[in-house]
A and B are shown apart, each in its own frame.
Chain A
Amino acid sequence: MSDEHVGFPFADHELHLVELVNRVLDRGAVITGEITISVAGVDLVYLGVQLVIAATETARGRAGMIRMPQ
């Protein structure tokens, strides 16, 4: 019998989003020695979640590139 994919229900959308960003950007295994990510068309060397959030906020303010889902 094949495995069933399981769902991920969450009651609190905001908590979910904060916890999600924290995990996906700052945890998880790394296969490349240096992570380069792109924010609003600018390549940045990844140094940590706080820096990325700061950079993202800057990008949102300047370019309106980052949108929160409704």
Chain B
Amino acid sequence: MGVYAYCVVPHAHRPPGDLVGLNGSPVELVEVGDVGLWVSTTDRPEVSIETVQAHNRVVEVAVTEHVTPVPLRFGQWLEDPGQLPAHVSEHAADYRDRLSRFAGCLEFGLRLIDPEATDEARDVRESVPATGREYMQALRESSRLAEQRRAYSETVASRVRELLRDIVREEKVETAQTRHAVLTVSHLVAREHFDEYRERARRLRSVFPALRLLLSGPWPPYSFAV
């Protein structure tokens, strides 16, 4: 048995008495100085859809109107519970700062996908040229296509920022892009702006009719916790 941690919360923010976490274990508050953690005493968890959902369920319960926890990544399990205070003390100032920034806010995820996209830059790069000259031409063409794609992503990101700027507290753009992803961004949004955020984000469908919009949330602010 060890201790599994779900999220960092403000001092004295207690879980409901009947809250159950991973492996059916009760969830408890452990306080270290002026921050707390919601934890369970349990064996090392298996990773599965069910345990991922159970982890998130506990973090969601920690969310209230005025408190937004700092979500921990799945797998924060320590064999020796005695190691927990040292880990938390080391990052206490950062946790206090994030708890203050997150209060009253949650995260939304926004993806703009180009369903017709082809990775032309990679295709050109991976083609097999017959001569050195053709090889150099392929490299130049690949570089030009990659730059074209990057510029388009920046144009889209800029338009999204313009549309949402006054109702978004923080943004985090995912830099690793897939073939179809034009923009993947998370936004930290205050509760009073949730409806407005959804409405404006949906307007992006008419701004970029060739792209598909995937909007998710509200989430605990996993993307802003690191």
A residues with a Cβ closer than 8 A to B are 3-6, 8, 10, 12, 15-17, 19-21, 23-32, 35-41, 43, 46, 52, 56, 65-69
Q: Write the B82-107 contact mask toward A (1 if CB under 8 angstroms, else 0).
A: 00100110010001001000000000
Q: How far is the CB of A11 from chain B (nearest CB, A)?
A: 10
Q: A8-B60, A24-B73, A28-B71 are in contact. Are A67 and B48 (CB under 8 A)?
A: yes
Give residues of chain B (1-52) contacting chain A, Cβ–Cβ below 8 Å.
5, 8, 44-50, 52
The residue that B46 contacts in the complex, of A5, A25, A30, A38, with Cβ under 8 A, is A38
Assembly CA distance A41 to B120 (angstroms): 42
The residue that B64 contacts in the complex, of A4, A16, A37, A69, with Cβ under 8 A, is A4
Q: A3-B64, A8-B218, A20-B53 are in contact. Are A39 and B46 (CB under 8 A)?
A: yes
Q: A31-B88, A67-B48 are in contact. Are A19 and B73 (CB under 8 A)?
A: no
Q: How many contacts between A and B, using CB within 8 angstroms?
A: 124
| Chain B residues near A69 (CB-CB < 8 A) | 49-50, 53
Are B75 and A36 in contact, with the CB atoms below 8 A?
yes
Assembly CA distance A52 to B75 (angstroms): 12
Number of B interface residues in the complex (CB < 8 A): 44
Is B219 positioned at the interface, with any CB of A under 8 Å from its CB?
Answer: yes
Assembly CA distance A38 to B45 (angstroms): 6
A-B contact pairs, 29 of them (CB 8 A): A3-B65, A8-B219, A15-B216, A19-B109, A20-B53, A23-B109, A23-B219, A23-B223, A24-B73, A25-B74, A27-B73, A27-B226, A29-B70, A29-B71, A29-B72, A29-B73, A29-B225, A31-B5, A31-B76, A31-B87, A32-B76, A35-B73, A36-B44, A37-B44, A41-B46, A46-B75, A56-B48, A66-B49, A69-B50
Q: How far is the CB of B180 from chain A (nearest CB, A)?
A: 13
Known A6-B63, A38-B44; further 12 A-B contacts with Cβ < 8 A? A3-B67, A5-B64, A28-B73, A29-B72, A29-B98, A32-B87, A36-B44, A38-B46, A56-B47, A56-B48, A66-B49, A67-B49
Closest to B47 in A: A37
Are A30 and B76 in contact, with the CB atoms below 8 A?
yes
Residue from A10, A32, A35, A69 having most chain B Cβ neighbours under 10 A? A32
| Chain B residues near A24 (CB-CB < 8 A) | 52, 55-56, 71, 73-74, 222
